[in-house]
Amino acid sequence: MAGTAAGTAVLSDTVRKVPLEWAQTLAAWHYGLTGRLSVLSGERDSNFLLEADAGHGGPGGTRARRFMLKISHPAESALVADFQTQALLHVAATDPLLPVQRIEPTVDGRASLQATAPDGTARVVRLFSYLDGEPLPKAARSPAQARALARTLARLDLALRELRHPAGELALPWDIQRADEVRALLEHVADPQRRAMALRVLDRFSMRVKPLQPTLRRQPIHNDLNLYNVLVDPADHARIAGILDFGDMVHAPLVNDLAVAAAYQVDPAGDTLGALADFVGAYHEVLPLTADEVAVLFDLLQARLVMVVAISGWRAAREPANAAYLMRNNAISWQRLEACTAIAPGQAASVLARRCELA
């Protein structure tokens, strides 16, 4: 990906997990917590579920007994990690009822720390509250759930809009503003028809959307509201119980955040445009969109889907041992992209504008 060497380092480097024993030492020494530590899944970082022993409230006094210990990938800079940390602290202050993880301080009151791992690499270490809930991919889907997620995302974007951080302007591989840079990665797509379809989406993005992006309102965005980053209430799948993983945050056009989330709401077997209109409309009820934002939304959504299939295929080719995890969204993303490209862009823009009462 041209021009994003620093940003792609985290993607192109191999997974660099840390020993469980070292993670236990960090938890005890820096957070005053001992207990059962188990490995959680993670695309890049080393994540652990810490179930603290009875009587261990930690440095904040009496607290919940379950936490997530996150030890960053060595290719992730302390500056980028701090962007995520500051975002969570900012959200906790601006909309404390939002279902996001909370930063748990060290025994000496720090939001994060840097430590040298046994392999000699520098790592950023943070402890988060653990959110209970049903992962969205395992939950029953419904229009009410989709609308609730859209409204929650709008609240999150409102909570983040005043945050400023220098890391927000750094190059990020998953930034839709750079969607055309994944063009070369499509060489990993074996099907020539699919590859041609993806290239057409990128051509439209380059010609129609990219020139307009600098004119759109900008702010820090979550940038990765895929289904695996959402928890719902096990007793009520229409209630959002958690938004996870702020690791792909970037300062970008606000509408890009909605486009990312909407891309994962496309049901190839259902009413693609109708469901999308409901999702966008629910977001618009909380955080009103502009006509220009709505006009480019459908193209942005498709560009995100191309990025998913291109980057996941590229990474799987580089990391065959982790291919199953990396490709988990690949097949459905192709189906979503095919469903979207069957709809005329002008038709989609018109339907979305009417749903938002902008036409």
Q: How far apart are CA 221 and CA 168, in angstroms?
A: 9
Lowest mean pLDDT across 52-61, 90-99, 325-334? 52-61
Dihedrals φ, ψ of 37, to 5°? -115, 130
Q: How far apart are CA 146 and CA 336, in angstroms?
A: 16
Q: What is the pLDDT of residues 243-301, one digit of tens each?
A: 999 999 999 999 999 999 999 999 999 999 999 999 999 999 999 999 999 999 999 99
Which tokens hold the place of 167? 């890391």
C-alpha distances (whole Å) from 99 to each of 45, 94, 249, 293, 347 are 22, 13, 17, 26, 35
C-alpha distances (whole Å) from 259 to each of 23, 45, 115, 305 are 36, 25, 36, 10
Domain positions in the chain: 5-130, 135-355
The 10 Å Cβ neighbour count of residue 320 is 9
CB contact burial 42-53 (16+ within 10 A = b; e otherwise):
bbbbbbbebebe
pLDDT at 2: 44
Q: How far apart are CA 59 and CA 33, in angstroms?
A: 9
Percent of the chain with pLDDT over 90: 83
Q: How far apart are CA 345 and CA 342, in angstroms?
A: 9
Average pLDDT, the chain: 92
Architecture of domain 5-130: 2-Layer Sandwich (3.30)
Q: Which residues, 6+ apart, have CB-to-CB distance to 280 below 8 Å?
A: 150, 258, 262, 289, 294, 297, 352, 355, 356
CB contact burial 87-103 (16+ within 10 A = b; e otherwise):
bbebbeebeeebbbbbb
Instruction: Classify 13 as helix, strand or coil.
Output: coil
The residue ranking higher by pLDDT, 282 or 173, is 282
The residue ranking higher by pLDDT, 242 or 58, is 242
* Under 8 Å between Cβ of 248 and 220: no
Quick check: 316 pLDDT over 90?
Answer: no
pLDDT at 9: 56
pLDDT at 5: 43
Q: Which position has the token pair 């709401």?
A: 265
Which tokens hold the place of 211? 């020139």
Instruction: Classify 200 as helix, strand or coil.
Output: helix
CATH topology of domain 135-355: Aminoglycoside 3'-phosphotransferase; Chain: A, domain 2 (3.90.1200)
Q: Which residues, 6+ apart, have CB-to-CB distance to 243 below 8 Å?
A: 98, 99, 100, 152, 153, 156, 222, 225, 229, 230, 231
Q: How far apart are CA 98 and CA 240, in angstroms?
A: 9
Looking at residues 147-168, what average pLDDT do you find? 98
Quick check: 317 pLDDT over 50?
Answer: yes
pLDDT at 14: 64
* Under 8 Å between Cβ of 345 and 298: yes
* Alpha helices for 95-167 (secondary structure H): 143-160
